[in-house]
Amino acid sequence: MAESEAPDVVEYLSLAPFDDTVDRLRHAIADAGLTLFATIDHAAGARDAGLAMPPTTVLIYGAAKGGTPIMLAAPQAALDLPLRVLIREREDGRAVIAFHPAAAMLRRYGVAAERAARLEPAQNLLVAAIGAERS
């Protein structure tokens, strides 16, 4: 896919339920030697505020070895790094993951597609981990 044709967000349907999908992603991140920096449970935050929200979690992950050279070349890229993946449960109960493809995300900071492509394996492992189909 040419850089100009890259979508800003891609979604994949998981073949596993929500909780299993989150667990699979956590394990895939760890098994790849990446760091899981944070887990944001938006549904828990909603509950704490007296609101209801379907299961919705964001994992923030990456590796300094991959992200640091990009941030040195384009400091504002730190606004979007480390990488993030959204896991949410749809109304039909299916789990979906979504993320910004690295090339599309970093293009706004002037990061060359070739440099951004170095982060693609860290995103591709997510898709492989959940046995996904394109949404």
Domain ranges of the chain: 7-134
Of 1, 23, 6, 5, nearest in space to 14 by CA? 23
- What pLDDT was estimated at residue 2? 36
Mean of the per-residue pLDDT values of the chain: 93
Give per-residue pLDDT as tens, 31-61.
999 999 999 999 999 999 999 999 999 999 9
Dist. CA 21–CA 75, nearest whole Å: 32
Q: What is the pLDDT of residue 133?
A: 66
pLDDT of residue 131: 86
Question: What CATH code would you report for 7-134?
Answer: 3.30.310.70
